[in-house]
Amino acid sequence: MNAFKAWFVNTVYFDDRGYQVANHVLLDSVEAIVRLDEPLRTGRTDSVRVSDLWARMAASQTVMLDVADVLVGRGGSSAAMHLRRIFEDVGSAYTVIQGVDGFEIARRVDPSMADAFEAALSPDDRAAHHLRDAWAKAFGRHPDPDASYQESIKAIEAVGIPVVCPTASSPTLGKVLAHMRDGSANFVTALDPQDGGGVGRVVGMMELIWQTAHNRHGEPGVGEPARVSQVQAEAAAFLAVTLVQWFRSGAIARR
């Protein structure tokens, strides 16, 4: 708790370069975003508001995380990485990730998957942008499974379309699937079993995501997007990380 309080005070009063900031602006943001029972107490200086805010954070984990989420989202990378280390040191169920709109607090996942996700963010291309959004919406403190699932699909499309069907009109993951399924001889996978079914297995991985995401009426992939569960959104995000890396690295390629 002492380390977290020190982080809180330092983040409120100083920026990443060590300069004192106009913390009343930050406090105004906290009050506007976090649902406090009543306005913060005011005094001659902002230190009164800071003390009152800390007292409320110490009394409620929900308020503490809500406030920290606002602060880390408006602070710099130094403050974000410092808070991540604090979470790690105390074995917290939370961590800090970089979403599309900045840093935010999210639930911790298996370290190997977290490392794979971080690796998939380089290069910082369109696929990485969608992966960040998918991850944040799956594991953030205010998850949106449907939006996360769609971002996972977009991440795979961003790397799959240029390899599989770069000239297709209105390309989608469904078209990627159709091209690879119907023309499997035109593609090769780094992991290729003796039966030569490597491409088919990759198609199967993508079908898991594409067909789960749609209420199909007749043709695969046709219909309105279906609502997905939290578990499905998380599974799709994990699988998207793998597929993005495979397409990028050439583990899935044209012959």
Q: Is the pLDDT of residue 235 over 60?
A: yes
**Which amino acid appears at position 96 of this protein?**
V
Alpha helices in 75-125 (DSSP H): 77-89, 111-120
Q: How far is CA 115 from the centre of its chain?
A: 13
- Please tell me the predicted confidence (pLDDT) of residue 22: 62
- Give, for 211, the enclosing helix (H) or strand (E): helix 198-212
* pLDDT: which is higher, 23 or 57: 57
Enter the tokens of residue 63: 């308020």
How many other CB atoms sit within 10 Å of the CB of residue 203?
Answer: 20
Contact indicator for 254, 186 with CB cutoff of 8 Å: yes
- Please tell me the predicted confidence (pLDDT) of residue 232: 93
Query: What is the DSSP secondary structure assignment for residue 233, as one 8-state letter?
Result: H
The stretch 151-162 carries a mean pLDDT of 96
3-class DSSP state of 222: coil
Q: Residue 202's closest CA among 222, 232, 223, 177?
A: 177
Q: Pairing mode, if any, of strands 94-99 and 102-107?
A: antiparallel
**Exposed, middle or buried, 234 (CB in 10 Å: 0-12/13-18/19+)?**
buried
Query: What is the DSSP secondary structure assignment for residue 226, as one 8-state letter?
Result: P
Instruction: Please enumerate, as own/partner, the contacts of 27-31 that have beta carbons within 8 Å and a separation of 24 or more.
Output: 27/53, 29/70, 29/74, 30/67, 30/70, 30/71
**For the segment 100-126, what is each residue's pLDDT rounded down to a tens digit?**
788 999 999 988 898 999 899 888 899
The confidence band for 75, taking pLDDT boundaries of 50, 70 and 90, is confident
Q: Look at the block and give the residue holding tokens 């995401």.
A: 213
- Please tell me the predicted confidence (pLDDT) of residue 219: 42
- Please tell me the predicted confidence (pLDDT) of residue 141: 87
The residue ranges of every structural domain in the chain are 2-108, 145-254
Query: Per mean pLDDT, which range of 9-18, 110-119, 173-182, 231-240 is the poorest?
Result: 9-18
Sorted by sequence, the CB contacts under 8 Å of residue 207 that are 6+ apart come out as: 177, 220
Helix, strand, coil content of the chain in percent (nearest 5)? 60, 10, 30
Is pTM beyond 0.85? Reply is no
Highest mean pLDDT among 106-110, 159-163, 164-168: 159-163
